[in-house]
Amino acid sequence: MSPLRVLFVCNGHPALDPSEASWGAHDLYQALREQGELEPMLLACTSASARTPSGEVRLQGIGRSADEALLPVGDFDPVMLAARDGSAALKVFADLLAQFRPHIIHFHNFRRLGLEALVVVRRIRPQARIVATLSDHDLICANDGQMVTTAGAPCAGASLDACRRCLKDASSADLVARELHVRNLVSLIDRFVTPNRSLRERLLAWGAPRGKVQTIPYGLADRLPAVPPRADQPRRSFGIFAPIAPDSGLMCALAAAHLLKEQGSEAALRIHALTQPEAGDFADQFMACVAQAASVASYAGPCRRDELPALMARTDWVLVPTLKPADASAIILEAFQAGRPVIAADTDAVQEMVRDGVNGLLFQRGDAGDLARTMRRAASEDGLWERLSAAIPPLPSLAEAVDRHLALYNALLRARELAPV
């Protein structure tokens, strides 16, 4: 009997597009590959810039492993969750399904390739089981999955009236068509996986069947013990490790740094980019704000994930100012593994991990004044860092995540009575 074959499909490869989703997919794929109980393959969907000089869409290798591949896909429609010119990419995807013959196709979000990939799976591998790990609200929210109103407040839930206020160019008919399109395609998914309970509850409230949604937190591989800061130093250094993007909350953090500068604070904020910033209005605005807060804030440039432990060892507090309601689980885990307390925006997902005043500090999402007050407290309150860092909880392990995914795959196959062939 041949081994169980699992195809992981994710929007980006961590070497090119670092994100919570690409980290999670690659960690799981690599751990299962090393374990040797099944035959995994990773398909990372990348931007059209990765196509051949002739514009041809074909699989491309990455790294040393023959079972990791890149698939360049064109522009993506975040409203309909579809690749705008994805027919060529979907054909390559169909050919891969026919050749690899996976028993499980495990999607990690649907950016770039789009929901139409589900139809392709059902056509080419009708007996295979489909798993979808979601780390954002793309299915629920037509406004780029942000779940934030135009006023910057958290969205209570999708409705025609609420969605039209965000998507002013969309008619009610457009939004109804979008909802029917998404619900029709995601009905092909056998199991949803979320990294936190708050996203699970959002999916259930949206209408996902309760028996189809489960939570499996991201897990971390074992590393060397955390490096503590020197005991004789004040805890005034703050680090951000995030993409240079509007929803990372960087402008809020820089506004807070500017307030601290005006107050004569000795705090130091250092921003590390998880992705190479793209040229454009936001990048220009970001660099201008860094310059305005120059005595307090600095931009350190891009960093790799394997550099995080050393970089975090040189900072006291890890800032997570994210504006996204389902984001930040992975970077909080990295901070906790490094023994660093977190100062984070008070989103539902963050509050599952960070308990205010216990193992970290919370501030009101998007509120620069509240963040500045929280940073000032962190830099000045005696014994606070020691108390919070000592209360960092045990972290979920990658081995545990692997075991839970294996159990899920086997349960789904038993339910379909599909034996590996």
Beta bridge partners of 356: 360
- Is residue 133 pLDDT above 70, yes or no? yes
d(CA 84, CA 235): 49
Give the single-character DSSP code of 340. Answer: -
Per residue in 284-302, pLDDT (tens digit) is 999 999 998 888 999 999 9
Does 278 score more than 70 pLDDT?
no
The pLDDT assigned to 106 comes to 98
**Separation between Cα atoms, residue 95 and residue 357, nearest integer Å:** 53
Between 312 and 246, residue with greater pLDDT: 312
Each residue's pLDDT tens digit, 376-399: 999 999 999 999 999 999 999 999
3 state SS of 250: helix
CB-based contact 19:27 (threshold 8 Å): no
Strand partners, 104: 6, 129
Per-residue model confidence (pLDDT) at position 236: 92
Average pLDDT over residues 247-262: 93
Q: Is 301 left (phi over 0), alpha (psi -120 to 50) or beta?
A: left
Kindly report the average pLDDT of the chain as a whole number.
89
Which CATH architecture best describes the domain 237-390?
3-Layer(aba) Sandwich (3.40)
**pLDDT of 287:** 92
Averaged pLDDT, 198-219: 94
**Distance set, CA 200 to CA 207, 295, 406 (Å):** 11, 42, 20
* pLDDT at 20 (0 to 100): 82
CA distance 145 to 149: 11
410 — pLDDT class (breaks 50, 70, 90): very high
Residue 7 CA to residue 29 CA, distance in Å, equals: 9
pTM of the model: 0.92
For residue range 18-67, what is the model confidence (pLDDT) as tens digits?
888 899 999 999 999 999 889 999 999 987 655 555 567 889 988 777 89
Strand order in the sheet with 317-320: 297-302, 268-273, 237-242, 317-320, 342-345, 360-363
Give the residue with greater pLDDT, 229 vs 183: 183
Sequence letter at residue 348 = D
CA dihedral 92, 98, 102, 105 (to 10 degrees): 40
How do beta strands 60-61 and 191-194 pair?
A: unpaired
417 CB contacts (<8 Å, ≥6 apart)?
A: none
- What is the band of 147 on the pLDDT scale with cuts at 50, 70, 90? confident
Percent of the chain with pLDDT over 90: 64
Confidence label for 419 from pLDDT (cuts 50, 70 and 90): very low
Confirm if 4 and 104 have CB atoms less than 8 A apart.
yes
Class (C level, CATH) for 4-219+397-416: alpha beta
Predicted confidence at residue 226, as pLDDT, reads 67
Question: Distance between CA 109 and CA 8 in Å, rounded?
Answer: 11
**Weakest-pLDDT range from 38-42, 106-110, 272-276:** 272-276
pLDDT of the residue at 421: 40
Residue 14 CB contacts under 8 Å (≥ 6 apart), including other chains:
22, 23, 26, 305
The Cα 408–Cα 413 span in angstroms is 9
Task: Specify the 3-state DSSP secondary structure of 196.
Answer: coil
**Do 4-219+397-416 and 237-390 show the same overall fold?**
yes
Q: Is 55 left (phi over 0), alpha (psi -120 to 50) or beta?
A: left
Q: What is the pLDDT of residue 190?
A: 97
Q: What per-residue confidence (pLDDT) applies to 257?
A: 94
Q: Which helix (H) or strand (E) holds 94?
A: helix 87-100
Q: Among 81, 28, 26, 73, which Cα is nearest to 49's?
A: 73
* CB < 8 Å & 24+ apart, contacts of 353-361: 353/196, 353/329, 355/391, 357/388, 358/388, 358/391, 359/388, 359/389, 359/391, 359/392, 359/393, 360/388, 361/388
Q: What is the mean pLDDT of residues 192-209?
A: 93
Q: What is the 3-state secondary structure (H, E, C) of 26-59?
A: HHHHHHHHHHCCEEEEEEEEECHHHCCCCCCCCC
Map out the domains of the chain as residue ranges.
4-219+397-416, 237-390
Where is pLDDT greater, at 419 or 256? 256
